[in-house]
Amino acid sequence: MPRVDADADLDLRRDHDLGLAGHRRRGGDVARHDLLDHPDPLAARLRRHLGEPGELAGRDPIAVHGTARDQRAGEHHRNCTHVGSIANSSHRAARDRRSRSKITRPGTRGGSSALGYDAPVEPIDLAVAADDFDQEVSVTPAIDRFCSSSIWILAAASALMPPRAPASYRGASGYFAAMRGVHPAGFPYIEPLELAWGLASPLIGRDPAPLAEAVVAVLAARRDWQLTIFTGLTLDGPQRRALERALPARWERRTGTPTVRHVASLDGGIDGFLARRSRELRKSLRKALRAAAGAGVRFESVGRASAEDAVALYARIQAVEAASWKAREGVGISSGPMRAFYEHMLPPLCARGQQRLQFARVGDRDIGYILGAVFEDEYRGLQFSYDDQHAGLGIGGLLQYHQILELCAEGVTRYDLGTEMDYKRRWAEDVMETEMLVVVR
């Protein structure tokens, strides 16, 4: 059974070689090795996403495998929001990725919704605009909606990312959800609010074409960045195509390794879901259900909860975490930034009625939990864990089963299990792939 899950599945070791080693150094620019070698949080993030300096020149990167302990810890986190494994990445010359259609000056196509080079644009506070922002998220095509929503990205920005300046904008066609930072070596960058996994799309709006035109115009008008990162772009999806058309030819483009999410349909209710699973999984579930009933395990769903209730609920979650294998091995959400991440996220999830939380209990004691969130008609799995003393009962799989029962009963039609892990292939039948685009000027 799975060790844990979260997009929360966090693996901060993901590397990407985006081919910036050959980028020309212009007057006043910072060399790539100056950026990556610096002992600073941004350098660590870029090493993770762009590749180690020693791996970039003259060869293609290869898959990296750590020790068994490293892999086990990484497995836990890849469950979360779920980053992919450390893997090969590709770099292409800008001309190879460029659309064959004519590229016009940014801001000149898009009519009244486009922004000109000199348009005065001030950053907005996404926390204040959260309701309107999430409404736009709900109609944005081909993105990871929950992980692009305000609750996810604001919690990540607060708990997982270094201090940066606001760089989010609202235009007639939607939002550009971003932050701006400056590396100590002088390298200015613009990136999404959440770059721990790179799941969120910063381009939020119903029609990607005028939105991309407007965002590129804003970026072209600014002289305070050298590198801009776009994440959560569906492969050959509408946002990616719109960006390719809107970006100037002189801006170089690099792509990272796609991130794969496993998705299960809940069409047909629990019977339809189980019919799409293997015979072995169904047999294992029946056996686990009998064993758990014999051991006196019961499953309790947390219904409506307020932001104030979230404090006590999170204390219960942490009590289970403390008794799990993850606490012993120093992974999971029992400490550090990941604990803070969920501590930020749970109150607004409760306040909006989006949290879906169940506990497995024996007597008056919690021995397991599963936490996820609903956005529109989709459920996003976040975290689950269980007391190691009851590991033989298959509590993790039973928590998944009981959560799916309730989701089907309320009419949820899609279950996003998060980024790639082997066990998820048994629970899902579809995949969603997104990638990162890095623009350099």
Q: What is the mean pLDDT of residues 115-120?
A: 38
- Mean predicted confidence (pLDDT) in 334-347: 97
Give the residue-averaged pLDDT of 198-225: 97
Tell me: pLDDT of 425 over 50: yes
- Condensed to tens digits (0 to 9), the pLDDT of residues 148-194 reads 999 999 999 999 999 999 999 999 999 999 999 988 778 899 999 99
CA distance 348 to 306: 8
User: Could you tell me the pLDDT band of residue 257, with boundaries at 50, 70 and 90?
Assistant: confident
Residue 23 predicted with pLDDT over 70: no
Angle at 123 between CA 117 and CA 125, to 5 degrees: 155
H-run or E-run covering 414? strand 414-419
Q: List, as own/partner pairs, every contact residues 400-407 make where C-beta atoms lie below 8 angstroms and the sequence separation is at least 24, other chains included.
A: 400/370, 400/427, 401/285, 401/289, 402/299, 402/301, 402/358, 402/370, 403/356, 403/358, 403/370, 403/372, 403/379, 404/266, 404/270, 404/273, 405/270, 406/301, 406/356, 406/358, 407/266, 407/356, 407/374, 407/379
pLDDT band at 48 (very low <50, low <70, confident <90, very high): low
Give the least confident one: 39-48, 216-225, 298-307: 39-48
User: Which residues are paired to 403 by β-bridges?
Assistant: none
- Map out the domains of the chain as residue ranges: 20-59+91-255, 263-430
Contact 152, 345 (CB under 8 A): yes
Residue 137's CB is within 10 A of a number of other CB atoms, namely 27
Q: What is the pLDDT of residue 420?
A: 73
Per-residue pLDDT at 15: 31
Say which residue, 331 or 350, is predicted with more confidence.
350
Nearest to 116 by CA among 200, 230, 29, 217: 217
Cα separation, 355 vs 113, in Å, equals 35
Min mean pLDDT across 80-89, 301-310, 353-362, 367-376 is at 80-89
CA–CA dist 49, 16 (Å, integer): 5
Q: What does the pLDDT read at residue 318?
A: 98
pLDDT-based confidence at residue 104 (cuts at 50, 70, 90): very low
Residue type for 92, please?
R
Residue of higher predicted confidence among 416 and 8: 416
Helix 336-351 with 309-322: angle, nearest 10 deg:
140
For the beta carbon of residue 261, count every other beta carbon within 10 angstroms.
Answer: 25
Average pLDDT in the 15-35 region? 38
Q: Which two tokens mark 404?
A: 């799916």
Q: What is the mean pLDDT of residues 103-118?
A: 37
What is residue 105's three-state secondary structure? coil
Identify the pLDDT of residue 418: 86
**Of the candidates 294, 192, 286, which has an alpha carbon nearest to the alpha carbon of residue 239?**
192
Task: Tell me: pLDDT of 85 over 70.
Answer: no
In this structure, whether the domain defined by 263-430 belongs to CATH 3.40.50.10800 is answered with no
Using CA atoms, how far apart are residues 399 and 169, in angstroms rounded to an integer?
A: 40
For the cut 70, the answer to whether the pLDDT of residue 317 exceeds it is yes
Gyration radius of the chain's alpha carbons? 22
Going by the DSSP 8-state scheme, the letter that residue 256 receives in this structure is P
Say whether pLDDT at 281 is over 70.
Answer: yes
Average pLDDT rounded to a whole number, residues 38-67? 39
Percent of the chain clearing pLDDT 90 (strictly above): 64
What are the helix (H) ranges across 68-118?
68-78, 94-97
Query: Tokens representing 50?
Result: 């762009």
Residue of higher predicted confidence among 71 and 284: 284
The pLDDT of residue 68 is 32
User: What is the reported pLDDT for 50?
Assistant: 53
CA angle 310/389/70 to nearest 5° reads: 80
Q: Smallest Cα–Cα separation from 371: which of 79, 28, 132? A: 79
3-state SS, residue 192: strand
Cα distance between residue 420 and residue 280, in whole Å: 21
CB 198 within 8 A of CB 160: no
pLDDT at 36: 52
Give tens-digit pLDDT for 233-252: 998 899 999 999 999 999 99
- Listed range (53-62, 127-136, 332-341, 401-410) with the worst mean pLDDT: 53-62
Cα separation values, 227 from 92, 191, 222, 343, 435, Å: 16, 8, 12, 31, 16
- The SS3 assignment for 311 reads helix
With a cut of 90, say whether residue 203 has pLDDT above it.
Answer: yes
Residue with tokens 């940014």: 106
Q: What is the pLDDT of residue 426?
A: 84
More confident residue, 341 or 17: 341
pLDDT-derived band at 121 (thresholds 50, 70, 90) equals low
The yes-or-no verdict on residue 220 having pLDDT over 70 is yes
Q: How many residues does the chain have?
A: 441
pLDDT (tens digit per residue) in 374-414? 999 999 999 999 999 999 999 999 999 999 999 999 999 99
Q: Of 263, 242, 269, 244, whose CA–CA distance to 255 is shortest?
A: 244
Cβ within 8 Å of residue 225, ≥6 positions away: 180, 188, 189, 190, 219, 441
Overall average pLDDT of the 324-353 stretch: 95
Confidence (pLDDT) at 187: 84
**φ and ψ at 387, to 5 degrees?**
-70, 130
Residue 275 phi/psi, 5° resolution? -65, -25
